[in-house]
Chains A and B, each alone.
Chain A
Amino acid sequence: MEVVQRYIYSDTELDRTESEAIEALKENSQQPIPDPDRWLDEELERNILLTSLDTILDWARRSSLWPAICFPACCAFELIAANASRFDLSRFGMEILRASPRQADLMITAGTLTWKMAPQVKRIYDQMAEPKWVIAMGACGISGGIFRSSYNVVPGYNRIVPVDVYVPGCPPRPEALIHGIRMLQNKIAKEHTNIKLSPL
């Protein structure tokens, strides 16, 4: 098929817009976002009706965590290995990796995050429906790891998104990842829902 010359493009315009987004995000993400577990202390405030509702909701939520696809680098292969034949993540109700962030409620950040990639990760996170959780997998996900001193690496995912569970290792073994997921499930089990009952 003939290539129509008119459509040959290298979109410098788009490049420029994207670089602006990167620069802006880099500007705004110099401080880590605090981890979202302050509610753990507030347990006393729950009332009886809501706790049983919570139990059901939390049970449903933690038993079908669906991870979104966010596989920047090497750790991805331990995540896939955890999914594949031997470690079989489906035992915990999460064998389905969702390509669409809107169907996912867990983000496992398997790999080094670079500043160029950061806007995309933020966008994925923003598109995921609430409630949502994040597991930072690997040394790079926690702090930038071996690449921390590089000019293009974000020192930890918590600059971009709030992180619930950190799984250390470079890469973490699949067992470690599964342990991290179990910890997240325990955490979800303690979560309570803010449902405002309207007055009768």
Chain B
Amino acid sequence: MTVSLSAWDVANQIKEQFPDAVSEINDQAILVRSESLFEVAQYLKNRPELNFDYLNYISAVDYFDYFELVYQLISINHNHSLILKTRCYGRDNPTLPSLVSLWRGADFQEREIYDLIGITFKGHPNLKRIVLWDGFQGHPLRKDYL
């Protein structure tokens, strides 16, 4: 059984390292500030007890005020999982750090989010539209897309 780690425990470990990275914790997920997303992810990946070597999926949800990004991390060795969330404000040019340099599995998923939701990932090596064409107007998965 893949154990979902207690968000509180992991958040405490993160807090030791990055005191103000975590902004909210609930039973299922840890919400981190978007500025420290990369550092936290790197920490989670490289810390041997956690060892999250597998990025299962990235999803983005449009809540009008902000976009919420959901990352599910899995450790193949320890067989445990964790959900990491981050929020990104502003509708015109939302930006987040890219995680491709940690997990290459993020490559297509970030491009897809860029394409369909319109979030720019800084540090992505090849950020361009993936499923729609270049001149397509708007981002269809936004809630205000007509």
A and B touch in the complex (CB under 8 A): yes
Q: Is the CB of B132 within 8 A of A116?
A: yes
Partner of B128 from the list A10, A22, A115, A152 (CB cut-off 8 Å) is A10
Q: Is the interface of A mostly helix, strand, loop or mixed?
A: helix
A12 to B130, CA, bound (A): 12
Q: Are A19 and B133 in contact (CB under 8 A)?
A: yes
Residues 107-146 of chain B, each 1 if its beta carbon lies under 8 Å from chain A, else 0: 0000000000000000000101101111110001000010
**B131 surroundings in chain A (CB, below 8 A):** 116, 152
Would A15 and B128 count as touching, CB distance under 8 A?
Answer: yes
**Contact across chains for B132 and A15 when beta carbons are under 8 A apart:** no
Shortest C-beta distance, A117 to chain B (Å), equals: 11
Say whether B128 contacts A151, CB under 8 Å: no
Tally of A interface residues using CB under 8 Å: 13
- A22-B140 in contact given A10-B128, A12-B128, A15-B128 (Cβ < 8 Å): no
- Complex contact B135–A152 (CB within 8 A): no
Could you tell me which residues of chain A, from 92 to 110, have a CB within 8 Å of some CB in chain B?
none
Contacts of A116 in B (CB 8 A): 131-133
Contact digits for A1-27, partner B, Cβ 8 Å, 1 yes 0 no: 000000000101001101110110000
Q: Which residues of B contact A23 (CB under 8 A)?
A: 133, 135
A22–B133 touching, CB < 8 Å: yes
Q: Report B57 CB to chain A, min CB distance, Å.
A: 22
Query: Which residues of B lie under 8 Å from residue A12 when comparing CB positions?
Result: 128, 134
In the bound assembly, the distance between CA atoms of A15 and B132 in angstroms comes to 11
Q: Are A19 and B128 in contact (CB under 8 A)?
A: no
Give B133's nearest chain A residue, CB to CB.
A19
The verdict on A151 contacting B140 (CB below 8 Å), with A12-B128, A15-B128 known, is yes
Complex Cα distance, B128 from A15, in Å, reads: 10
Per a CB cutoff under 8 Å, which of A16, A115, A151, A152 touches B134?
Answer: A16
Residues of A within 8 A of B135 (CB): 16, 19-20, 22-23
Task: Please report the C-alpha to C-alpha distance between residue A152 and residue B135 in the assembled complex, in whole angstroms.
Answer: 13
List chain B residues, Cβ under 8 A from A22.
133, 135
Measured between alpha carbons, how far is A19 from B137 in the docked complex, in Å? 12
Nearest first, the 9 closest Cβ-Cβ pairs linking A and B are: A19-B133, A19-B134, A19-B135, A10-B126, A22-B133, A15-B134, A151-B140, A23-B135, A16-B134
Known: A12-B128, A12-B134, A19-B135. 14 other contacts (CB 8 A): A10-B128, A15-B129, A15-B133, A15-B134, A16-B134, A16-B135, A19-B134, A19-B136, A23-B133, A23-B135, A116-B133, A151-B145, A152-B132, A152-B140
